[in-house]
Amino acid sequence: MSWETPELPEIQRRYRWVAPIYPLFNIVFGLPPGIRKKAVERLGLLAGGSVLEVGCGTGRNFPLLANAVGPEGHIFGVDATREMLERAELLAKRRKIPNVTLRLEDAAELTLDKTVDAALFSLSYSVIPGEKDALAKAWALVRPGGRLVIMDASVERRHSGRLLRRSAAALSRATVLGNPFKKGWEDLKALAGDVEVQDFGRGLYFIATASKAGRQASP
């Protein structure tokens, strides 16, 4: 089945109305319990570290990231939809998470002027147009010894039947505009070399982790 990722303006329009109900999609798509926490753990963050979340959405991962880097650490969140970032900002204020910098930006044209200890794509890689460009830019921002993690859904991780593939595509198209046929783990491997991949939810979800060669300086 062919699939084209929608253009950014279409995604921005969709996420303007998705933003208020975005947490419901964890249930709709059967997100495995604890997978967000596992993805953050794979980042290998230390107290005082810094992390970039590409496609941070409403900031659902911020409490986990803040717990990992501590009050002296820093979270950079990038998203292409203002309404999603507004909710991320409210979450950070409500949860009293310090040192959060939010950027309204197309991930494929990421221009962060700092390097980070780790980068995370959490349920965003399958949605981002120009995802390989976004991945390359994020990888370039990770310091030597740091990690990049992609956590997402894909029907390509197991031998999916035609009905499942069509159903997943239809549900994504009708809601979050994700592309369930992207192979983020393969894109990461092509860029970074060795990649560790762990499957969840009977193979419908995965966490792919790559470490950048070199030794990271202490925060």
Q: Where are the domains of the chain?
A: 8-211
Between 28 and 58, where is the model more confident?
A: 58
Handedness of CA 43, 49, 54, 55 (dihedral sign): positive
Identify the pLDDT of residue 50: 98
Q: Does residue 1 have a pLDDT over 60?
A: no
Identify the pLDDT of residue 3: 42
Q: Does residue 160 have a pLDDT over 60?
A: no
Spatial CA neighbour of 114 closest among 99, 93, 125, 97? 99
What fold is seen in the domain 8-211?
Rossmann fold (3.40.50)
Strand pairing class (100-104; 74-79): parallel
Report the percent of the chain where pLDDT is more than 70.
Answer: 85
Q: In what order do the strands lie in the sheet with 74-79?
A: 100-104, 74-79, 50-54, 116-122, 142-153, 205-211, 196-200
Identify the pLDDT of residue 14: 78
Identify the pLDDT of residue 213: 87
What predicted TM-score, i.e. pTM, was given to this entire model?
A: 0.88
pLDDT tens figures, 170-212:
776 667 667 888 899 999 999 999 999 999 987 889 999 999 9
Within a 10 A sphere around the Cβ of 106, how many other Cβ atoms?
Answer: 18
pLDDT tens figures, 86-136:
999 999 999 999 999 999 999 999 989 999 999 999 999 988 989 999 999
φ and ψ of 26, to 5 deg? -60, -35
φ and ψ of 187, to 5 deg? -65, -40
Q: Does residue 156 have a pLDDT over 50?
A: yes
Identify the pLDDT of residue 165: 64
The answer to whether the beta carbons of residues 89 and 146 sit under 8 Å apart is no
Residue 186 class from Cβ within 10 Å (0-12 exposed, 13-18 middle, 19+ buried)? middle
Which of the 8 DSSP states describes residue 32? P
Between 142 and 163, where is the model more confident?
A: 142
Residue 17, amino acid:
W
In 3-state terms, what secondary structure has residue 148? strand
Identify the pLDDT of residue 183: 93
Instruction: State mean pLDDT over 29-45.
Output: 93
